[in-house]
Amino acid sequence: MTVRGHMSGGSRARVAVVGAGPAGLAVAATLARRGVSAAVLERGASVATSWRGHYDRLHLHTVRWLSHLPGYRIPRTAGRWVSRDEVIAYLERYAVHHDLEIRTGVTVRRVERSGDGWSLRCDDGGRHDLRARAVVVATGYNHSPLLPEWPGRRTYRGTLCHAADYRNGTPFRGQDVLVVGAGNTGAEIAVDLVEHGAARVRLAFRTPPHILRRSQFGIPTQLVAVLLRHAPVALADRLAEPVRKRSVPRLDHKGLPDPGPGVYRGSARGEIPILDTGVVDAVLDGRVEPVPAVTGFDGDRVRLADGTAIRPDAVIAATGYRRGLEPLVGHLGVLGPTGLPLVHGPRTHRTAPGLHFIGYTNPPSGMFREITLDARQIAAALSRTDS
């Protein structure tokens, strides 16, 4: 791996890759295997910057053997469900194995059309600017923490933090904690808080989530999603619903209504089901208490959608992330109303030939697996245009 802390103004590259996370590394490695050089620009001091900031408990929800990036496998020693630290170590080894050119400490602020190629404006008044024939944007699905502007939030007298700032439950031992957001992150943090000795843990949800077992009868749920990846959504839901009902008990009596059918329909809208790593048992045992959505704050109280108010010691908002692409490429007309790219993978927008996006989907079949498929297709497309 070649790591450069800086680069001279106006330097050139055949392909510029923005971001040294799994998606950026995968596409750079796949390009290299096709003989196309790429410079990877990373705002952090090393690869996998976002992964280093995730909570300690985190593991991939996808099984190891379906989570490899192209050209280098995750070692069996990482286990079936790969931990955060093992993912970071794997990405570090991946960059070395493919001898990728990674330029760290470089924040790309804006991508602009320049002749038949692209110009990337970076920090330091142009000292880090770069020109490239093509650009692959891979800044990550979880780029900028999103904290809703709840009424009274800024004058709340309790502790309020985003899940991006949560590492483990040790600081919350003995406390009453409200976790907001019933996705995978919120569910895992709730369980982690229980295991670290929080006195009370509540989990607020706006819409009842679909919950699936991470594996059933030894078969990873991800494998089923891979097999159903190209099936019509209605058919996939019909096949998935009986399995969901048999494997996950109803939690209505614990305050978590059943969402009904629609696991794959929800996934098509970006609503990823919870893959259970302990939250079902914690709710059944009363160690995690589901409550309605947060509507606002009032002094030291948190108001809920059912009209009640509670006084937790701390609130942890697992309320998602923005993609943060607007400053970078928003002026090019390539983003949709939600801030996600209008086209993804090997396709490019008609107004922006040579500008690709990777890593901005999160399907049930697994983000790492989708990154691998997209990286190969992008590399194939760019190697054709580069020849």
Fold of 147-317: FAD/NAD(P)-binding domain (3.50.50)
Q: What is the pLDDT of residue 30?
A: 97
Max CA distance (Å), the chain: 65
Q: What is the pLDDT of residue 360?
A: 92
| Gyration radius (Cα) of the chain, Å | 22
State the virtual CA torsion across 164, 167, 168, 174 in degrees, nearest 10: -70
CATH superfamily of 2-143+323-386: FAD/NAD(P)-binding domain (3.50.50.60)
Instruction: Mention every residue, 6+ apart, whose C-beta is less than 8 A from residue 163.
Output: 55, 145, 181, 185, 186, 189, 316, 317, 318, 319
Pairing of strands 274-276, 301-304: unpaired
Contact, 314 vs 163, CB < 8 A? no
90 burial (CB, 10 Å; 0-12 / 13-18 / 19+) is buried
Contact, 190 vs 173, CB < 8 A? no
State the virtual CA torsion across 130, 136, 142, 144 in degrees, nearest 10: 30
Upper half-sphere CA count for residue 138 (Cβ side, 13 Å): 33
147-317 and 2-143+323-386 share a CATH fold: yes
Pairing of strands 200-205, 219-220: unpaired
Contact, 118 vs 23, CB < 8 A? no
Give the C-alpha separation, 312 to 258, whole Å.
26
Give the C-alpha separation, 169 to 166, whole Å.
8
pLDDT tens-digit profile, the chain (387 residues)? 665 544 444 456 799 999 999 999 999 999 999 999 999 999 999 999 999 999 999 999 899 999 999 999 999 999 999 999 999 999 999 999 999 999 999 999 999 999 999 999 998 666 668 999 999 999 988 888 999 999 999 999 999 999 999 999 999 999 999 999 989 999 999 999 999 999 999 999 999 999 998 888 788 888 888 888 778 989 988 988 888 898 999 999 999 999 999 888 887 777 788 999 999 999 999 999 999 999 999 999 999 999 999 999 999 999 998 889 999 999 999 999 989 999 999 999 999 999 999 999 887 788 999 999 999 999 999 988 765
Instruction: Mention every residue, 6+ apart, whose C-beta is less than 8 A from residue 231.
Output: 239
Domain boundaries in the chain?
2-143+323-386, 147-317
